[in-house]
C-alpha cells in the first residue's frame, strides 16, 4: 500500500505520462527503502523499471546540480537510446527528504531528426555564427553534436546541503534495512557497501566516514571491505 504522503505525486505522475505519451516514463521513489525504492511507475517502456526496483542516477544528478531539490535535463544512454531525465526531491510536512519523482523521456527520435537536419543543411551552423549575424540578433543556442551528450558542471569538492542530506539519508536507510532482519554480519555489511558503491555515494566527501560510524567499524575496515566488494 502506497504511503499517503506520496499519493499527490502519484496523481502528478499520471498527469505527466498522459500528457507526454508513451516515450515519457515517470517513476516515483520512496527513498526510505532505497534498495527497492520504486513504488509507482507510468510508461515503464522507456527504461523497463518495475515496482520494487532501485534508483540509478539520483546521486549523480544531485552532485552535478546547482539547484536544491530540482535536477533538470540530464542525459544518459540506456540500451543505445538517448534519455533526457529530470528529478524532483520529495519532502514530508517537516521538510525531511523521503523520496523523488523522476521523469525519463526517450529523445532518440528527436536526436535522429536533428542529425537529419544537420545533414540536410551542411554549413548551417557556420552561417548562423555570431560573427556574421546582425548585431541586434541574439546568437542561436548551440545544439549538442551527434552522440555528444551534454552534462552539467562537475561536482564540487564540498557537497551541497541537499547532496549531504540525500547521501546521509541513503546511508541511514541502507544500514537500518540491513539491521532490521537481525545482527549486522560481515556479509550484510558488504551488501550495504556494495549498494552504496553502486549508487556513487562514496564520491561524496564525508560519506565514507558516516558509513563507518553507522556500521560501527573503523574507516580502515570500510576501505578493506570496499576492496573486497570491488573484486566481486
Cα-based distances in Å from 74 to 13, 22, 47, 113, 139: 19, 19, 15, 20, 23
Q: What is the mean pLDDT of residues 25-44?
A: 95
Helix (H) or strand (E) holding 90: strand 81-91
Average pLDDT value over all residues in the chain? 85
153 backbone dihedrals φ, ψ, rounded to 5°: -60, 150
Q: Is 95 left (phi over 0), alpha (psi -120 to 50) or beta?
A: left
Q: 505520462: which residue's cell?
A: 17
Are 47 and 83 in contact, with CB atoms under 8 Å apart? yes
* Three-state SS at 141: coil
Q: What is the mean pLDDT of residues 36-52?
A: 94
* Three-state SS at 33: coil
Residues whose CB is less than 8 angstroms from the CB of residue 115 and which lie 6 or more positions away in sequence, other chains included: 146
* Three-state SS at 114: helix
Cα-based distances in Å from 81 to 23, 66, 112: 11, 26, 11
* Three-state SS at 150: coil
Give the rounded percent of residues in the chain with a pLDDT score beyond 70.
84
- pLDDT per residue as tens digits for the range 199-210: 999 999 999 999
Sign of CA dihedral 148, 149, 155, 156: positive
Q: How far apart are CA 229 and CA 170, in angstroms?
A: 18
- Band (28; pLDDT cuts 50, 70, 90): very high
What is the structure's pLDDT at 80? Answer: 92
- pLDDT per residue as tens digits for the range 93-104: 999 999 999 999
- pLDDT per residue as tens digits for the range 124-183: 666 655 554 443 433 433 334 333 433 333 444 578 888 999 999 999 999 999 999 889
Q: If you ran DSSP here, which 8-state letter would residue 153 be given? A: P
What is the structure's pLDDT at 138? Answer: 37
- Band (75; pLDDT cuts 50, 70, 90): very high
What is the structure's pLDDT at 142? Answer: 39
What is the structure's pLDDT at 127? Answer: 60
Amino acid at each position: 500500500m502506497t504511503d499517503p504522503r506520496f499519493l499527490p505525486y502519484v496523481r502528478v505522475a499520471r498527469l505527466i505520462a498522459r500528457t507526454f505519451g508513451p516515450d515519457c516514463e515517470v517513476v516515483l521513489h520512496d527513498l526510505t527503502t532505497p534498495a527497492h525504492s520504486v513504488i509507482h511507475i507510468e510508461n515503464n517502456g522507456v527504461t523497463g523499471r518495475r515496482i520494487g526496483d532501485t534508483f540509478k542516477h539520483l546521486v549523480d544528478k544531485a552532485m552535478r546540480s546547482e539547484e536544491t531539490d530540482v535536477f533538470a535535463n540530464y542525459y544518459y544512454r540506456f540500451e543505445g537510446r538517448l534519455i533526457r531525465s529530470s528529478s524532483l526531491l520529495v519532502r514530508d510536512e517537516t521538510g525531511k527528504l523521503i523520496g523523488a519523482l523522476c521523469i525519463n523521456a526517450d529523445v532518440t527520435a528527436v536526436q535522429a531528426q536533428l542529425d537529419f537536419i544537420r545533414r540536410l543543411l551542411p554549413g548551417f551552423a557556420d552561417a548562423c555564427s555570431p560573427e556574421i549575424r546582425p548585431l541586434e540578433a541574439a546568437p542561436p543556442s548551440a545544439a549538442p553534436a551527434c552522440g555528444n551528450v551534454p552534462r552539467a558542471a562537475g561536482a564540487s569538492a564540498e557537497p551541497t546541503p541537499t547532496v549531504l542530506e540525500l547521501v546521509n539519508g541513503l546511508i541511514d536507510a541502507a544500514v537500518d534495512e540491513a539491521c532490521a532482519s537481525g545482527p549486522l554480519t560481515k556479509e550484510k555489511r558488504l551488501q550495504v557497501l556494495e549498494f552504496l558503491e553502486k549508487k556513487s555515494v562514496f564520491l561524496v566527501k564525508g560519506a565514507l566516514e558516516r558509513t563507518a560510524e553507522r556500521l560501527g567499524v573503523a574507516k580502515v575496515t570500510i576501505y578493506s571491505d570496499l576492496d573486497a566488494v570491488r573484486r566481486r
